[in-house]
């Protein structure tokens, strides 16, 4: 029964969600909206689980003085500080000029932007390593990448030709390839969903 | 006095005849005709659609109609209130309302309503005949989505049919996937080097198909790592994903007969913030010196940061995502990449279970049907064979 | 290892140094770069230009501070253009870390144009699960947002009188980084037939061309280039236009490294023969 019940719940909910897509009547709409509200509620409670997991992992690293335990101390301090400041003034914490928002704007935001900026350097090193004319396909990849990159650069008389070519690449072969991948992804996603609904794929449920 | 009266009378006569010779221009436009009010199709039952034939002065004649007002009443002779307005040239309007009774714009279903359409110029208007009664009601099947329904049903039947064939022992050929073939070697490498394996489920939620596909792969990889006695680290971006990942890895260890080796603290939640998560994972990669990194799931801008850092750490990297924008980054920076649906197929490849391979073959057949439909559609569109194109038209 | 093999296996730190120098030079010695205006960027601009004063546009600021560099100039320019034309805005921020950033932008620009909250614009704020929120707003904005960001009931805001859902706005412009974009297309356009325009990061741009062609999307601003195109069209040249010179130089450096790597590759192969 412990195995059958979750499979039954998955089957009933899965079939219902498929059917409700085709039934516009408001009685089905009501059940769908009710289910969506529950997803939000479960998500919020799951956040508590996540907080517990992160705290436990960080504390055990600090206690065991595992390599990099200093980072775990920073994690716990940051977590506690933001939680406290957020709850301290409630809704007003996010008003302009509060310490909470100062930490957000002057510590969190620059760190986020810095991490995102790493992409500029990593793109250069990844392009340097991988754009080699090893095979015909690699050459086509390289030439296409160059045309797309060059559309941002003023090239004088050949700018117009390059812009047209780049536009054509984006709107014709790029679109064709994306559509082909999407069709495959759509069918794969449907098959995976069917396998889960019919209980064929049960790895996510764990075992007793 | 008599003379004054005579002059005034003469003026009145002149004005009267003047008017007869030059009659006053009638400013009202011809009213809209053939007004029809009916339930809006394929909706939840709180809307009526009104259509009409354009006024004679809309786009023709005097060309002075600027808009149409749509009026509604509960009785044919009752008070009509304006429900909406559309610019000239339009001959359809959807009168919609809220479904909540408490809402001041509540639109009751199964109630008679009567409609009139008013053609307006800048300084006059004319009204149509009253149309109705019309009632709004919800449909039990969205006819506009019929092609989707037929397609879903056909695909479901195909999947079940191939699974049934697989159960009867039919063997299916699947082309080799380099990324999948490399999994065993990658795990073996980690075991030989005595370094852990890092498995990233991506930034999707537990409801995303890519994450669900990743769970099934994680289960099989966890089983292999248990057999090899290699540590696996699974940092998670979502608390629900973490809970499912813990169960998945535990099941893998149970399948391998090594439940005692399972350590819950190796599957943990980090943060839901994208770049904070990436920073933490990068730190884990560099400190733990992971030998093998798996990136399987939904990824966004952080994909290249993860892959390049893994490259710096000297890890062998196998990636897979259905996010098309990130596939080029993984192709450039990781050793093996599963593109799009190959991620969903991976669990079938790893387990080689007949049921899963059967579902894979159903996908192949469906793809063949889609390709034939695309080619036929291109031909039909070129020769204006509208009936064929209408078979595939979906109205949301 | 000979010279060409070294060229082929350059330490990545040299590449990082090269990129760092490349992005610093245009900051110290700025120059202007001509920008080609794409039809899809023009479509977004013309939509706002053709919206009459008093009409409402829904502006969705669906990105986090990490995408600010590319997307903030778009949001800023669109807001300025709208306010200068007397267009009213309903603004939401469905990305988790976006609300505070969006609120700062709105306060700054509304002060410039003397616009009042509740009369000239309404800021709805953030709600989790963007897909569900976008779906619910198609029925009524009040379902996910009974109050605005500041806690005022929507029904008590003068601007929201008679404004129920997407039918009552001219169109939706979503400035977005991430998967929230799919929900606008699937739900707002797919289900409710709202006119949707996007401003997305550079890496996402190629993904949305199919939707332009199929008519599900009515305009597209792509990355910093898209932002600079819009600034040019709106005659509000700012950060994005300045950034184009830095982007140009960075691209040239990347191309140079690719060429260097391939020279090393070819010459090493030749030497081995």
Q: What is the pLDDT of residues C88-104, one digit of tens each?
A: 999 999 998 888 889 98
Alpha helices in chain B (DSSP H): 2-21, 146-167, 178-193, 209-228, 239-255, 274-288, 303-312, 327-333, 341-351, 354-382, 386-391
Q: Does A5 touch chain C (CB under 8 A)?
A: no
Query: Which uninterrupted H or E stretch holds C172?
Result: strand C172-176
Among B159, B254, B340, select the one facing A181 at the smallest CB separation: B340
Chain B residues with beta carbon closer than 8 angstroms to that of A39: 207
Distance from CA of A205 to the nearest CA of B (A): 7
Asked if pLDDT for residue B325 goes beyond 80, the answer is yes
- Considering the domain architecture, whether residues B362 and B348 belong to the same structural domain is answered as no
Quick check: B165 and B304 in contact, CB under 8 A?
Answer: no
Asked if pLDDT for residue C72 goes beyond 90, the answer is yes
Quick check: B292 and B187 in contact, CB under 8 A?
Answer: yes
Nearest to B90 by CA among B50, B129, B122: B50
How far, CA to CA in Å, does A42 sit from each of A31, A46, A49, A83, C101?
Answer: 17, 6, 11, 20, 27
- Considering the domain architecture, whether residues B286 and B209 belong to the same structural domain is answered as yes
- Considering the domain architecture, whether residues B215 and B271 belong to the same structural domain is answered as yes
Burial of C13 (0-12, 13-18, 19+ CB in 10 A): exposed
Burial of A159 (0-12, 13-18, 19+ CB in 10 A): middle
Among B139, B268, B332, select the one facing A24 at the smallest CB separation: B139
Give, in degrees to the nearest 5, the angle at Cα C212 between C206 and C217: 115
Q: Do C225 and A152 touch (CB under 8 A)?
A: yes
Q: What's the whole-number mean pLDDT along residues B164-177? A: 87
Q: Quick one: pLDDT at residue B23?
A: 46
- B198 by DSSP, 3-state: which? strand
Distance from CA of A54 to the nearest CA of B (A): 5
The full DSSP string for C46-72 is: HHHHTSPTT-EEEEEEE--GGGHHHHH
Distance from CA of C68 to the nearest CA of B (A): 14
Neighbours of A, requiring at least 3 CB pairs below 8 Å, are B, C
Neighbours of C, requiring at least 3 CB pairs below 8 Å, are A, B
Q: Do A24 and B273 touch (CB under 8 A)?
A: no
- Considering the domain architecture, whether residues B324 and B193 belong to the same structural domain is answered as yes
pLDDT in tens, B219-252: 999 999 999 999 999 999 999 899 999 999 999 9
Q: Quick one: pLDDT at residue A162?
A: 85
Q: How far apart are the C-alpha atoms of C129 and C140, rounded to whole Å?
A: 16
Q: Does A123 touch chain B (CB under 8 A)?
A: yes
Give the CATH number of the domain where residue B124 resides: 2.60.40.10
Q: Cβ neighbours of residue B15 under 8 Å, at least 6 residues apart?
A: none
| Residue of A118, A182, A203, A205 for testing the chain B interface, max B β-carbons within 10 Å | A203
Q: Do A154 and C34 touch (CB under 8 A)?
A: yes
- Considering the domain architecture, whether residues B130 and B68 belong to the same structural domain is answered as yes
Q: Quick one: pLDDT at residue C69?
A: 87
Q: Quick one: pLDDT at residue B227?
A: 93
Q: Do B272 and C96 touch (CB under 8 A)?
A: yes
Q: Do C140 and B103 touch (CB under 8 A)?
A: yes
- Considering the domain architecture, whether residues B373 and B332 belong to the same structural domain is answered as no
- Considering the domain architecture, whether residues B257 and B110 belong to the same structural domain is answered as no
Top-confidence residue, B3 or C133: C133
Q: Quick one: pLDDT at residue B2?
A: 65
Q: Quick one: pLDDT at residue C1?
A: 67
Q: Do A149 and C254 touch (CB under 8 A)?
A: yes
Among A128, A171, A178, select the one facing C10 at the smallest CB separation: A128
Quick check: A124 and C6 in contact, CB under 8 A?
Answer: no
Chain C residues with beta carbon closer than 8 angstroms to that of A127: 254, 257-258
pLDDT in tens, B187-213: 999 999 999 999 999 999 888 889 999
Chain A residues with beta carbon closer than 8 angstroms to that of B362: 191
The structural domains of chain A, with segments of one domain joined by +, span: 1-88, 90-130
- Considering the domain architecture, whether residues B337 and B190 belong to the same structural domain is answered as yes
Distance from CA of C109 to the nearest CA of B (A): 28
Nearest to B331 by CA among B316, B318, B342: B318
**pLDDT band, very low/low/confident/very high, at B24 (cuts 50, 70, 90):** very low
Chain B residues with beta carbon closer than 8 angstroms to that of A190: 152, 155
Among B250, B276, B345, select the one facing A188 at the smallest CB separation: B345
Q: Does A3 touch chain B (CB under 8 A)?
A: no
pLDDT in tens, B75-132: 999 999 999 888 788 899 989 888 888 877 789 999 999 999 999 988 899 999 999 8
Asked if pLDDT for residue B22 goes beyond 50, the answer is no
Nearest to B337 by CA among B293, B282, B374, B284: B293
Quick check: C48 and C271 in contact, CB under 8 A?
Answer: no
Q: Does C64 touch chain B (CB under 8 A)?
A: yes
Chain C: residue whose CA lies nearest to B275: C66
Q: How far apart are the C-alpha atoms of A196 and B107, rounded to whole Å?
A: 39
The full DSSP string for B335-381 is: SEEEETHHHHHHHHHHH--HHHHHHHHHHHHHHHHHHHHHHHHHHHH
Q: Quick one: pLDDT at residue B15?
A: 56
Nearest to B59 by CA among B32, B83, B35: B32
C residues 223-242 closer than 8 Å to B (CB): none
| Residue of C140, C146, C200 for testing the chain B interface, max B β-carbons within 10 Å | C140
Size of interface A-B (CB pairs under 8 A): 201
A residues 18-77 closer than 8 Å to B (CB): 18, 21-27, 29, 39, 42-43, 46-51, 53-54, 56-57, 60, 67-68, 71
Chain B residues with beta carbon closer than 8 angstroms to that of A119: 301, 304-305
Specify the CATH number of the domain C57-242. 3.40.50
Q: Does A190 touch chain B (CB under 8 A)?
A: yes
Average pLDDT, chain C: 90
Q: Do C244 and A152 touch (CB under 8 A)?
A: yes
Q: Do A29 and B254 touch (CB under 8 A)?
A: no
Which of A148-152, B290-294, B364-368 has the least mean pLDDT?
A148-152
Quick check: A35 and B162 in contact, CB under 8 A?
Answer: no
- B61 by DSSP, 3-state: which? coil
Q: Quick one: pLDDT at residue B1?
A: 62
Nearest to A121 by CA among C48, C12, C164: C12
Chain C residues with beta carbon closer than 8 angstroms to that of A154: 33-34, 248
Q: Quick one: pLDDT at residue A141?
A: 87
Q: How far apart are the C-alpha atoms of C133 and C94, rounded to whole Å?
A: 8
- Considering the domain architecture, whether residues B214 and B245 belong to the same structural domain is answered as yes
Chain B: residue whose CA lies nearest to C67: B301
Chain C residues with beta carbon closer than 8 angstroms to that of B298: 179
Q: Does A153 touch chain B (CB under 8 A)?
A: no
Q: Do C178 and B300 touch (CB under 8 A)?
A: yes
- B54 by DSSP, 3-state: which? coil
Q: Cβ neighbours of residue C117 under 8 Å, at least 6 residues apart?
A: C110, C123, C148, C150
Alpha helices in chain A (DSSP H): 4-22, 26-63, 69-88, 99-103, 109-130, 136-150, 159-171, 173-197
Among C97, C203, C206, select the one facing B301 at the smallest CB separation: C203
Q: Do C213 and A101 touch (CB under 8 A)?
A: no
Asked if pLDDT for residue B267 goes beyond 90, the answer is yes
Among C16, C100, C213, select the one facing A175 at the smallest CB separation: C213
Q: Do A205 and B247 touch (CB under 8 A)?
A: yes
- Strand order through the sheet with C219-222: C121-125, C88-92, C56-62, C172-176, C196-200, C219-222
**Pairing mode of beta strands B33-39, B47-53:** antiparallel
Q: Does C258 touch chain B (CB under 8 A)?
A: no
b or e along B190-208 (b: 16 or more beta carbons within 10 Å of the residue's beta carbon)? bbeeebbbbbbbbbbbbeb
- Considering the domain architecture, whether residues B292 and B370 belong to the same structural domain is answered as no
pLDDT in 10s for each residue of chain A, 208 residues:
777 888 899 899 899 888 988 998 888 888 877 887 888 788 888 888 888 888 998 999 899 998 889 989 999 999 999 999 988 877 777 777 788 888 988 998 888 888 888 888 999 999 898 888 888 988 898 899 889 888 877 777 777 788 888 888 888 898 888 888 889 999 988 988 898 898 888 877 766 5
Whole-number percent of chain C with pLDDT over 70: 100
**B365 within domain boundaries:** yes
**Pairing mode of beta strands B113-120, B125-127:** antiparallel
pLDDT in tens, C175-189: 999 889 999 998 899
Asked if pLDDT for residue C123 goes beyond 90, the answer is yes
Nearest to B292 by CA among B231, B245, B203: B231
Q: Cβ neighbours of residue B23 under 8 Å, at least 6 residues apart?
A: none
Q: Quick one: pLDDT at residue C231?
A: 95
pLDDT in tens, B326-360: 998 999 899 999 998 899 888 888 878 888 888 88
Chain B: residue whose CA lies nearest to A74: B280
Chain A residues with beta carbon closer than 8 angstroms to that of C229: none
- Domain hosting B305: range is 171-352
The structural domains of chain C, with segments of one domain joined by +, span: 3-26+247-272, 57-242
Instruction: Extract the tokens encoding B156.
Output: 């479901």
Among C33, C38, C103, select the one facing A154 at the smallest CB separation: C33
Q: Spell out the SS3 assignment of B115-168.
A: EEEEEECCCCEEECCCEEEECCCCCCCCHHHHHHHHHHHHHHHHHHHHHHHHHC
Chain A: residue whose CA lies nearest to C262: A132
Distance from CA of B303 to the nearest CA of C (A): 12
């Amino acid at each position: 029964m412990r195995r059958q019940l979750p499979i039954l719940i998955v089957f009933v909910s899965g079939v219902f969600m498929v059917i409700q897509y085709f039934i516009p009547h408001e009685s089905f709409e009501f059940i769908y909206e009710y289910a969506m509200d529950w997803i939000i509620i479960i998500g919020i409670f799951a956040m508590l689980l996540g907080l517990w997991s992160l705290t436990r992992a960080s504390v055990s690293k600090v206690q065991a003085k595992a390599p990099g335990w200093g980072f775990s101390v920073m994690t716990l301090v940051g977590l506690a500080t933001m939680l406290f400041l957020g709850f301290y003034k409630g809704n007003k914490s996010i008003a302009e000029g509060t310490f909470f928002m100062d930490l957000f704007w002057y510590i969190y935001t620059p760190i986020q932007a810095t991490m995102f900026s790493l992409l500029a350097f990593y793109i250069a090193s990844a392009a340097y390593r991988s754009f080699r004319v090893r095979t015909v396909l690699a050459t086509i990849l390289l030439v296409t990448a160059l045309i797309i990159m060059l559309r941002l650069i003023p090239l004088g008389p050949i700018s117009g030709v390059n812009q047209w070519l780049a536009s054509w690449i984006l709107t014709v072969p790029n679109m064709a390839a994306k559509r082909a991948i999407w069709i495959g992804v759509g069918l794969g996603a449907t098959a995976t969903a069917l396998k889960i609904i019919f209980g064929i794929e049960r790895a996510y449920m764990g075992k007793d | 006095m008599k003379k004054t009266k005579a002059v005034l009378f003469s003026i009145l006569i002149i004005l009267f005849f003047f008017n007869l010779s030059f009659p006053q221009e009638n400013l009202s436009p011809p009213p809209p005709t053939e007004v029809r009010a009916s339930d809006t199709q394929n909706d939840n039952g709180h809307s009526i659609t009104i259509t009409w034939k354009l006024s004679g002065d809309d786009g023709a004649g005097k060309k002075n109609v600027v808009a149409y007002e749509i009026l509604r009443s509960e009785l044919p002779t009752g008070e009509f209130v304006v429900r909406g307005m559309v610019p000239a040239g339009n001959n359809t309007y959807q009168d919609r309302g809220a479904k909540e009774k408490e809402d001041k714009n509540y639109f009751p279903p199964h109630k008679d309503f009567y409609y009139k359409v008013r053609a307006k110029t800048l300084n006059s208007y004319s009204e149509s005949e009253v149309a109705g009664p019309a009632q709004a009601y919800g449909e039990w099947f969205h006819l506009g989505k019929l092609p989707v329904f037929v397609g879903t049903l056909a695909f479901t039947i195909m999947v079940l049919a191939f699974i049934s064939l697989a159960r009867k022992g039919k063997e299916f050929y699947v082309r080799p996937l380099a990324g999948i073939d490399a999994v065993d070697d990658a795990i073996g490498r980690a075991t030989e080097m005595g370094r852990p394996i890092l498995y990233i489920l991506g930034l999707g939620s537990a409801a995303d198909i890519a994450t669900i596909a990743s769970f099934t792969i994680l289960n099989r990889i966890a089983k292999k790592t248990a057999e090899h006695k290699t540590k696996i680290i699974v940092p998670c971006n979502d608390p629900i994903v973490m809970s499912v990942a813990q169960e998945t890895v535990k099941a893998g260890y149970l399948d391998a007969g090594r439940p005692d080796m399972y350590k819950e603290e190796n599957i943990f939640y980090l943060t839901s913030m994208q770049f904070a998560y990436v920073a933490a994972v990068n730190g884990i990669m560099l400190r733990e010196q992971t030998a093998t990194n798996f990136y399987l799931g939904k990824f966004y801008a952080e994909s290249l940061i993860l892959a390049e850092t893994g490259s710096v750490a000297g890890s062998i990297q196998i990636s897979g995502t259905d996010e098309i924008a990130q596939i080029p980054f993984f192709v450039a920076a990781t050793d093996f990449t599963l593109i799009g649906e190959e991620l969903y197929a991976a669990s079938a490849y790893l387990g080689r279970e007949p049921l899963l391979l059967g579902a894979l073959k159903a996908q192949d057949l469906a793809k063949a049907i889609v390709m034939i439909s695309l080619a036929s559609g291109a031909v039909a569109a070129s020769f204006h064979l509208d009936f064929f194109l209408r078979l595939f038209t979906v109205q949301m | 290892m000979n010279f060409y093999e070294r060229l082929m296996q350059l330490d990545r730190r040299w590449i990082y140094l090269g990129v760092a120098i490349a992005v610093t030079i245009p900051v110290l010695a700025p120059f202007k770069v001509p920008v080609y205006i794409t039809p899809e960027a023009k479509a977004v601009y013309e939509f706002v230009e053709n919206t009459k004063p008093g009409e409402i546009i829904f502006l969705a600021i669906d990105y986090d501070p990490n995408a600010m560099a590319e997307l903030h100039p778009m949001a800023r320019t669109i807001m300025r253009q709208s306010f200068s034309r007397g267009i009213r805005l309903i603004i939401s921020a469905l990305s988790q870390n976006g609300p505070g950033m969006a609120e700062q932008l709105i306060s700054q620009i509304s002060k410039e144009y003397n616009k009042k909250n509740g009369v000239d614009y309404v800021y709805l704020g953030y709600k989790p699960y963007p897909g569900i929120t976008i779906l619910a707003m198609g029925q009524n904005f009040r379902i996910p947002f009974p109050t605005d960001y500041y806690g005022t009931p929507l029904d008590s805001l003068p601007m929201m009188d008679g404004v129920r859902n997407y039918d009552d706005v001219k169109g939706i412009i979503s400035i977005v980084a991430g998967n929230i974009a799919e929900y606008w297309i699937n739900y707002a356009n797919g289900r409710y037939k709202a006119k949707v325009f996007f401003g997305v990061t550079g890496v996402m741009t190629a993904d949305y061309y199919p939707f332009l062609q199929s008519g599900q999307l009515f305009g597209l601003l792509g990355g910093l280039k898209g932002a600079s195109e819009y600034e040019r069209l709106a005659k509000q040249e700012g950060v994005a236009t300045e950034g184009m010179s830095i982007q140009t130089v960075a691209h040239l450096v990347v191309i140079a490294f690719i060429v260097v790597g391939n020279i090393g590759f070819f010459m090493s192969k030749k030497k081995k023969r």
